[in-house]
Structure 1
């Protein structure tokens, strides 16, 4: 039975991997604890045993359940089937709030929400890009088409929630100033994440944690690792942790560069377990919105070296010495070597803990998003 004042919230997204999944898990927990009813609709064809365990962990907070259906990453005829199946389930759940995350989730949530509105359902439609369509180039026909669709979908949107200023600015530059309400609400992590994680005795020098696809830059990490060894003047130990479509490619790359004996690869695991493998976390992405891996690593008191992309400079500081241009393996290697050779470099370069925690807290994120929901709640 729904409590007075509580909301029925459905989050719709495609892949239950990475930052979007972390974002939704945190929102589900905090909003459930606040008395709201929460459910998830997402893809059934991606994820591993690691993600299955994460779903088990949040199941107590999903009073509206977990619905998984096939949702392909690229546009395909199967999208119609996904749309119909999602519609039937969401109509049954009768949400007050339908929040789409990422490009595919945003399309599904807003089209379904609009169809329900035609049938007089009181549902408010929200969208968070999380990078998504903003990774496209406006110089290409495909990008122009995607941006045009985003512009049309604004008419089916109560509000857009951007996870950082970079994402808002990118949206306005590529698509235009939103013709619906919008807000910048930073990603945040829970209080339990703000605790140091010591490095194991057999830890490595440099660690990559993330999806194994070129957008996230594992290939840049491997190239930079080889160059960093020369700068440091000794063999280094590295580790790549994650799953993804390009895993075999990176395994071949390590072998071709003679690094297989010094850089190991492990499947995705709980992030706290991964952080125990090294003091230095490298985030060499070619594009990002607001990656959780940076927030989680800083909360664990790790040293982060990252590409100057997305909202990362908003976390590390615009002038941080830990930032390098994306795709520049030489520059990344130089910073990696400096971090290894300079005593106290990480301590002196990373943002101050108190200021960081006050800005990137999951409780703040959930509270601000609830306020956005309530501003656009449709009442009878």
Structure 2
């Protein structure tokens, strides 16, 4: 391959850890002189993510392409897959890097189709949790892990971002039959600078996706237990967005915490850290812990 590579990152949801990871990767790859592009879902994310995309646009020589992608397998997948394949084919990637279950399936499937037309595209996959979050003893888990084992034969390289992710893959899917490596998430020096807490800060902060996998419901229940032990209600801030957000609003109301819990939309992590004395991470599962 040429020294300058055409690299395309394909993933479904441009939020949370995956989006952070892809942003870091593209920044480093552009700095190394490569031409980089992104293909992801157009129905996920809000104003905060749009702002992040705007910041990236000038660096993405292959562009930022957004098209509807479903989380779950369904009838809409065929049309979505066809649109996504058309975008990727036009970009003519040397490296097609799929992130998460949906992005990984698309990258390996479409990369294989491109190879039929004599493309030499490298098919790279990073699970980032995705299907690895399923219980291997359930029917759904057994199906997804069988698919992972099947798709491994269409994978040129597996990249894991944490040892937990790699060990989970080995336990649930099996020893990778393809070359693989562990490359930890990086942090910038500025991210180690202390954050000055705002006046009248809350006691505790939850920041992350609003879905049960990340434990917002555990966080809310814990507020009640901790308040009882302390003899006073705790003040909390919950920062993030997601499909399950209305349920957490209802949970707060049901437990009588409306005057003590504040919900805020996604924002830069360091800005959120200043809103409380303590950050709480109640997550049930993580693949790429920062």
TM-score (norm: length of structure 1): 0.74
Q: Corresponding residue for 1:264?
A: 262
Measured after TM superposition, the shift of residue 34 of structure 1 is 1.3
Q: Corresponding residue for 1:174?
A: 172
In the TM superposition, 1:300-339 aligns within 5 A as: none
Q: Deviations over 1:264-320 (max 9, x none)?
A: 1111112221111013111101111123xxx3xxxxxxxxxxxxxxxxxxxxxxxxx
Q: Corresponding residue for 2:196?
A: 198
Measured after TM superposition, the shift of residue 222 of structure 1 is 0.6
Q: Is the 8 A contact 2:224 2:233 kept in 1?
A: no
Q: Is the 8 A contact 1:15 1:42 kept in 2?
A: yes
Task: State the distance in 1 between where 2:105 and 2:234 align.
Answer: 45
Task: State the distance in 2 between where 1:264 and 1:146 align.
Answer: 37
Q: Corresponding residue for 2:86?
A: 88
Q: Deviations over 1:54-75 (max 9, x none)?
A: 1011112211001111100000
The alignment partner of 1:198 has SS state of coil
Measured after TM superposition, the shift of residue 208 of structure 1 is 0.3
Q: Corresponding residue for 1:15?
A: 13
Measured after TM superposition, the shift of residue 231 of structure 1 is 2.0
Measured after TM superposition, the shift of residue 224 of structure 1 is 0.6
- Residue 207 of structure 1, aligned match among 205, 209, 218: 205
Q: Corresponding residue for 1:164?
A: 162
Measured after TM superposition, the shift of residue 97 of structure 1 is 0.5
Q: Is the 8 A contact 1:26 1:190 kept in 2?
A: no
Measured after TM superposition, the shift of residue 235 of structure 1 is 2.7
Number of equivalent positions:
290
Mapped pair 1:251 → 2:249: yes
Measured after TM superposition, the shift of residue 192 of structure 1 is 3.1
Q: Deviations over 1:319-378 (max 9, x none)?
A: xxxxxxxxxxxxxxxxxxxxxxxxxxxxxxxxxxxxxxxxxxxxxxxxxxxxxxxxxxxx
Q: Is the 8 A contact 2:12 2:71 kept in 1?
A: yes
Structure 2 unaligned blocks of 5 or more: none
Query: Which of structure 1's runs of 4+ aligned residues deviate more than 6 A?
Result: none
Q: Deviations over 1:135-177 (max 9, x none)?
A: 1112221111111111111111111111111111111111110
Task: State the distance in 1 between where 2:192 and 2:33 align.
Answer: 25
Q: Is the 8 A contact 1:26 1:189 kept in 2?
A: no
In the TM superposition, 1:55-74 aligns within 5 A as: 55-74=53-72
Mapped pair 1:149 → 2:165: no
Measured after TM superposition, the shift of residue 38 of structure 1 is 0.5
TM-score (norm: length of structure 2): 0.97
Task: State the distance in 2 between where 1:110 and 1:251 align.
Answer: 39
- Provide the alpha-carbon RMSD of the alignment: 1.3
Q: Is the 8 A contact 2:71 2:102 kept in 1?
A: yes
Task: State the distance in 2 between where 1:207 and 1:46 align.
Answer: 23
Q: Corresponding residue for 1:316?
A: none
Task: State the distance in 2 between where 1:224 and 1:53 align.
Answer: 33
Task: State the distance in 2 between where 1:92 and 1:130 align.
Answer: 26
Mapped pair 1:131 → 2:105: no
Task: Go from structure 1 to structure 2 and tell me whether the alpha carbon gap of 1:36 and 1:191 turns closer, same or farther (over 3 Å shift).
Answer: farther
Q: Corresponding residue for 1:31?
A: 29
Measured after TM superposition, the shift of residue 193 of structure 1 is 2.2
